[in-house]
Amino acid sequence: MNLLAIESSCDDTAAAVVRDGRTVLSNCVSSQIAMHAAYGGVVPEIASRNHIKVISALCRQAVEESGLRLDQLDAVAVTYAPGLIGAVLVGVNFAKGAAMALDVPLIPVHHVRGHIAANYITHPNLKPPFVCLCISGGTTAIVDVQDYTRMKVMGETRDDAVGECFDKVARVLGIGYPGGAPMDRLSEGGDDQKYHLPHAHVQDRELDLSFSGLKTASLNLIHNAEQKQEPLDLAAFAASFGRTVSECLVPRVMQAAAQKGYGKVAVAGGVAANRRIRQDLQRACDASGNLLFLPELSYCGDNAAMIGCQAFYEYQAGHQAGLDLNAYATRDIASG
Ligand code: KG4
């Protein structure tokens, strides 16, 4: 089954052609980072307008690079939630038009389910069930992936997503946008014990997380150093911040993995590129006898190949949409 997949939930417009859920025939991304960098964050209106500008040519490019003809496409898949509503709507409406013109089924895909499916591309033998840590700019959740389309959230952030926390702290440090990758690079060789930042403990649900306290404490530490005109050891700060984030995430994922007993842990989303988190998870999985699955770096961030991959399994489970498909800013992973 050859699927044209479309992703436009935030600031990347992406189109890909994927065969049978695991083989990526083309994967095109048009990034808007340069347009939003001046504002230190994504401006929704600018994102939507630029998706409209590039989406048609990008889909054409994805089909051309796949080596297929239009009449060889069997379905069109699209991210329909969650994301910036105007941005998601651009992809959804384009996908409806494409599915109607090609006379093929339209398959709606939840963005975070797509991130999880990025692991199937990197690891052809990976099959559910497994526990997945989903960490991106908009999501922080520990998901019980019972089957390709049956999922349950075991724990999630009560406030900020971890990627948002990286981005906000990096913005105040003035080291670039989006801030996760620059923070990661800056941390190299830094003393990760030099700065002490808080770890939030969430009552009631032991697998839930919270990052707003870490964000506020980090911003206060930076501002205090500025006011006192004390130099901040940037490498040590970035390393201490990365250690703290990892110490919040890794024990909870391992606890979830122990509860489920699948023996398999995966990671998904843009923050899955973080070296400290990858390294700490590898150690924890080795020590507990779990297999760790990490997506290739090129599939950690937003892309359409992962949407095409998940769409194959959604289609097999009978999930299709009509031309009345709507876009949603928020949507539970479990409801698909
Ligand atoms: O998955 P993604 O591309 O978009 C969403 O679906 O949200 O994730 C983007 C997030 C940004 O917050 C970015 O700063 C973060 O992923 N990120 C990283 C790294 N690379 C990207 N965070 C920490 N370490 C990295 N190496």
Pocket test for ligand 1, best of 136, 157, 296 (most atoms within 8 A of CB): 136
Residues 322 and 274 in one domain: no
User: Percent helix, strand and coil across the chain, each rounded to 5?
Assistant: 45, 20, 35
CATH of the domain at 90: 3.30.420.40
CA dihedral 189, 41, 139, 311 (to 10 degrees): -110
Do 264 and 128 fall within a single domain? yes
Task: Give the list of residues 6+ apart from residue 301 with CB closer than 8 angstroms, or none.
Answer: 12, 270, 273
> Sign of dihedral through CA atoms 60, 62, 67, 70?
negative
Q: At what angle do helices 275-288 and 234-260 cross, to 10 degrees?
A: 40
Distance set, CA 318 to CA 2, 108, 144, 155, 336 (Å): 16, 11, 21, 28, 12
Which residue range forms the structural domain that includes residue 14?
2-111+302-335
Return the pLDDT at 327. Answer: 98
Mean pLDDT of 181-200: 97
Measured CA to CA, the distance from residue 301 to residue 199 in angstroms comes to 26
Instruction: Specify whether 209 is located in the same domain as 326.
Output: no
Could you tell me which residues come within 8 angstroms of residue 60 by beta carbon, excluding any fewer than 6 positions away?
none
What integer is the mean pLDDT of 284-295?
98
Q: What is the mean pLDDT of residues 38-62?
A: 96
Indicate which atom in ligand 1 lies nearest the CA of residue 161: 12
Q: Is 290 found in the same domain as 307? A: no
Q: How many domains are contained in the chain?
A: 2
For residue 335, pLDDT over 90 is answered with no
pLDDT tens profile 83-113: 999 999 999 999 999 999 999 999 999 999 9
pLDDT tier for residue 201 given thresholds of 50, 70 and 90: confident
Residues 301-321: what's their mean pLDDT?
A: 98
**pLDDT higher than 90, residue 40:** no
Question: Are 228 and 285 within one domain?
Answer: yes
φ/ψ of 307, rounded to 5, equals -70, -40
The per-residue pLDDT for 88 is 98
Q: How many CB atoms lie within 10 A of CB 100?
A: 12
pLDDT for the residue 38: 87
Percent of the chain scoring above 90 in pLDDT:
96
Residues 187 and 277 in one domain: yes
Q: Of all protein residues, whose CA lies closest to atom 8 belonging to ligand 1?
A: 270
Q: Distance from the CA of 68 to the center of ligand 1, in angstroms?
A: 32
Closest CA to 137 of 10, 307, 310: 10
Q: Which ligand 1 atom sits closest to the C-alpha of 275?
A: 26
pLDDT value at position 204?
Answer: 85
The count of other CB atoms within 10 Å of the CB of residue 260 is 18
CA angle 58, 27, 151 (to 5 degrees): 115
Percent residues over pLDDT 70 in the chain? 100
> Which of the pair, 204 or 166, is modelled with greater confidence?
166
Whether residue 282 is predicted with pLDDT greater than 90 in this model: the reply is yes
Same domain, 8 and 84: yes
**Distance from the CA of 64 to the center of ligand 1, in angstroms?**
29
List pLDDT tens digits, range 131-154: 999 999 999 999 999 999 999 999
Spacing, Cα 317 to ligand 1 middle (Å): 30
User: How confident is the model at residue 287, as a pLDDT?
Assistant: 98
DSSP state letter for 297: G
- What distance in Å separates the CA atoms of residue 155 and residue 292, rounded to the nearest whole number? 19
Mean pLDDT of the chain: 97
- 104 in the same domain as 245: no
* 139 and 256 belong to one structural domain: yes
Same domain, 316 and 259: no
Mean pLDDT of 14-35: 97
Same structural domain, 288 and 167: yes
